[in-house]
Structure 1
Amino acid sequence: MTFTQMLRKENDDIFRTIFNHPFVDGIGKGEVPDEAIAHYIKADYEYLSAFIRIYGTAISKSAKREDMRFFNDQIQFVLNSEIHPHHNFCDHIGVGYVELQDYPLPPTADHYMKHMMYHAHMGGLGETIGALLPCPWTYLEIGQELKTKYAPSADHPFYQWISFYADESTRDITRNMRQRLDKIAEDASHEEQKHIKEAFRKSCQLELAFWEMAYTCEEWPGEKVSSQ
């Protein structure tokens, strides 16, 4: 069993809970409250901006150009490709994408961002990848799960979103990140592996919490909840 296979097995409980979350399952059913979708996009736009910066940190920790090229390609993917599922959500609720940008992060998303930044700055490349990997990996499996469970046709309201994350490009990103982490783990000490596992587990937990944050329209205490 590879290191990342072990990570997946150890965190299957979180993956399964994500698949059954009402927001995620609602995507498959085509039934998600508009205000939850708007809240999700607001937070995810800022979260992905942080993800780009952490990819930049991964580049600075990379000794090989092939790794630098990979993380640079992922920056381009987030900037130019991952906007498409956002547009699918925006079109469904009838709100312009620009209208949902530049909002402060809700508590859970803020914590998730700072968790990733902590591991990226305090740990090595393996720990950085460990914190990053649950995002593409859970989304890949969400796309596959919803595609299998609901077999959405082209007229499904979230067909584009589901197809995007079940697509080969998302599989490639997850596979390439796993291969890099497996290689790093082979030469990592027990303590380094422990830190990677902790970073990965917490990111999985925060992926679940992110869906809950969006579904409940979580706000900071004392802030007025706004649907858009």
Structure 2
Amino acid sequence: MTLAAQLWTDNADVVAEVLANPFVQGIGDGSLDRDLFAGYIAQDAFFLESFARAYGLAIARSADTDSLLSFAELLNGVREELRLHASYAASWGIDMAGVVPATATLAYTEFLLATAATADLAVVCAAMTPCMRLYAHVGTCLDADAAGPYAQWVQTYADPGFDEVASVLERLLDRLGDDTPAVRTAYRRAMRLELAFFDAAFKAGD
């Protein structure tokens, strides 16, 4: 089993929590409150800009051509996600200007940026892979029954093209990383921060 596959398997408990989260369930069946989704889109756009900056730091720190080009490809993928968010903002009237990041959003972005700036590239990959693989998995799991206003969101992440982008990052992790405590800690922390991000999006209406 590859390193990326082993880490994914070892964090199956968090994956199950994410799939059971009421925010994720509400996206899947279309029942999620529109205002909660709008707030999530604004927070996720803020997050994705930091995710892009983390890729930029990884590009600058890449020691070989293959890594540099792979991170550049991944950065381009973030641009496509941001375009999706911009289209939602335009069609749903979501104000993307001056987004105030929630506590869960800041916790995640600060972790990613600090890791990308200071840690080994293997640890950087471990910190960034859960976001990509988890969204691909969520999209695939929800796709068969996706209905209502969020079907486009589900289909975006269920698309094989997104899965391939996630695989690019996993292959980087496998090539650059070893099964070390630092790699495992970064991966696990990112998974927990993903769960906290969805949880905060749902509780924003409380």
Fold match (TM-score > 0.5): yes
Q: Which moved more, 1:30-39 or 1:106-115?
A: 30-39
Whether the 8 Å contact between 1:41 and 1:86 is mirrored in structure 2 is no
SS in 1 for 2:44: helix
Q: 1:73 maps to what in 2?
A: 73
Partner Cα distance (1:106, 1:201) in 2 = 21
Whether the 8 Å contact between 1:42 and 1:100 is mirrored in structure 2 is yes
Whether the 8 Å contact between 1:21 and 1:211 is mirrored in structure 2 is yes
Whether the 8 Å contact between 1:27 and 1:158 is mirrored in structure 2 is yes
Deviations 1:29-69 (A, max 9, x none): 11111221122122111111100100011112212222212
Q: 1:60 maps to what in 2?
A: 60
Q: Which moved more, 1:203-212 or 1:54-63?
A: 54-63
Which aligned pairs between 1:1-228 and structure 2 lie closer than 5 A? 1-84=1-84, 87-88=87-88, 91=91, 94-96=92-94, 99-148=95-144, 150=145, 152=146, 156-185=148-177, 188=178, 193-217=180-204
State the TM-score, normalized to the length of structure 1.
0.84
State the 1:76 CA deviation. Answer: 2.1
RMSD: 1.9
| Residue identity (%) | 25
Paired amino acid for 1:178: E
Task: Give 1 or 2: higher helix fraction.
Answer: 2
State the TM-score, normalized to the length of structure 2.
0.92
Q: 1:221 maps to what in 2?
A: none
Whether the 8 Å contact between 2:74 and 2:169 is mirrored in structure 1 is no
Between structure 1 and structure 2, the one with the greater Rg is: 1
Partner Cα distance (2:27, 2:111) in 1 = 27
SS in 2 for 1:100: coil
Whether the 8 Å contact between 1:55 and 1:74 is mirrored in structure 2 is yes
- The number of equivalent residue pairs is 206
Partner Cα distance (1:173, 1:213) in 2 = 26
Deviations 1:176-205 (A, max 9, x none): 1111111222xx4x6xx2111111101000
Partner Cα distance (1:195, 1:158) in 2 = 36
State the 1:101 CA deviation. Answer: 3.1
Partner Cα distance (1:131, 1:215) in 2 = 23
Deviations 1:87-144 (A, max 9, x none): 34764xx324xx2333121111001111112221221110111111111111000000
State the 1:86 CA deviation. Answer: 5.7
Paired amino acid for 1:213: A
